[in-house]
Chain A
């Protein structure tokens, strides 16, 4: 099955700092790749996705590029805000068929201070 190794947290940054959260995965075939975000007390919501090699997903200033050669999908943001404080999860999804099974990393807690 799929597996994910995600950068250990917690990560604490000052506002406007640069963010990188590393994610590498193992998977059969060519999975779709996702980053989900969980704000305090809420469920997960999709942040961005990429479905094939070299695709770049982007949303709310966050970006991640599907790197097939290094099996990585690192999350970046050039200038974080206090409102970005949350837990971030990297997750590959099975490719093909109707089994949309996600495998989650352990999550990275990000705290952004003013």
Chain B
């Protein structure tokens, strides 16, 4: 019963590097989303998707790209990492009962 799986758990990047944070869910949920969590800021929505082939921007989308080629996967791409992107990233998925299931998070440090 995997739920939402995020990889990697930890990552250190140099400024300007790119990388992809992976997110997969096995619950056949249509809705998936990415959040970043920073001290004192709560969780802020980066991008979301209401189904395969459909994505949209959230509150803080700059510097991030997403795609949704399958129902299961929703990767988040950092195009050119900046120290301001140091954060903990969470992927979540929701189904028709509206409960959101979260991954364990990816702690990203950009130096």
Contacts and interface: CB of A to CB of B under 8 A. Distances in A.
Main secondary structure of the interface of B (DSSP, over half): strand
A43 B42 contact: no
Interface of B: 4, 30-31, 33, 35, 40-45, 48, 50-51, 58, 90, 92, 94, 98-105
Contacts of B103: 43
B31 A100 contact: yes
Interface string A89-114: 10001000111111111110000000
Nearest to B31: A100
Given A42-B104, A44-B90, A99-B50, A93 B98 contact: yes
A45 interface: yes
A102 B41 contact: no
A36 B100 CA distance: 9
A103 B101 CA distance: 15
